Amino acid sequence: MKKWFAVIGDPIAQSKSPEMHNSWYAQEGVDAAYIPVHVKKENLEQAVAALKLLGVYGFNVTIPHKTAIIPYLDEVDETAKQMGAVNTVVRLLDGKLKGFNTDGEGFVRSMEEVVGENHRQKPVLIIGAGGAARGIAFALKKYGYNQIAITNRTLSKAEEIVDALGIGNVISFEEASSTLNQYGILIQTTPAGMKYGDMTLPFSVDRMSHEAIAADIVYNPIMTPFLQHAEAIGATVVTGVGMFIHQGAIAYEHWLGNYPDTNSMIAQISGQLGGK
Binding site for ligand NAP (CB under 6 A): 63, 103, 128-133, 152-154, 157, 189-191, 194, 199, 202, 217-219, 240, 243-244, 247
Q: Between 52 and 126, whose beta carbon lies closer to ligand NAP?
A: 126
Helix pair angle (241-256, 17-28), 10° resolution: 50
Q: Between 52 and 109, whose beta carbon lies closer to ligand NAP?
A: 109
- Spatial separation of the C-alpha atoms in residues 265 and 273, rounded to whole Å: 12
Residue nearest to ligand NAP as judged by C-beta position: 130
> Residue 155 CB, nearest distance to ligand NAP (Å)?
8
- Spatial separation of the C-alpha atoms in residues 44 and 59, rounded to whole Å: 13
- Spatial separation of the C-alpha atoms in residues 276 and 33, rounded to whole Å: 28
Task: Give the active site residues.
Answer: 66
Question: Residues of 181-206 as b/e, b for ≥16 C-beta within 10 angstroms?
Answer: eebbbbbbbbbbbbeeeeeebbbebe
- Spatial separation of the C-alpha atoms in residues 110 and 172, rounded to whole Å: 27
Q: How many CB atoms lie within 10 A of CB 142?
A: 12
> Residue 55 CB, nearest distance to ligand NAP (Å)?
27
> Residue 275 CB, nearest distance to ligand NAP (Å)?
13
- Spatial separation of the C-alpha atoms in residues 115 and 136, rounded to whole Å: 16
Q: Between 52 and 84, whose beta carbon lies closer to ligand NAP?
A: 84
Q: Between 52 and 83, whose beta carbon lies closer to ligand NAP?
A: 83
CB 209 within 8 A of CB 107: no
> Residue 121 CB, nearest distance to ligand NAP (Å)?
25
- Spatial separation of the C-alpha atoms in residues 176 and 26, rounded to whole Å: 45
Q: Between 60 and 236, whose beta carbon lies closer to ligand NAP?
A: 60
Helix (H, G, I), strand (E, B) or coil at 219: coil
> Residue 85 CB, nearest distance to ligand NAP (Å)?
8
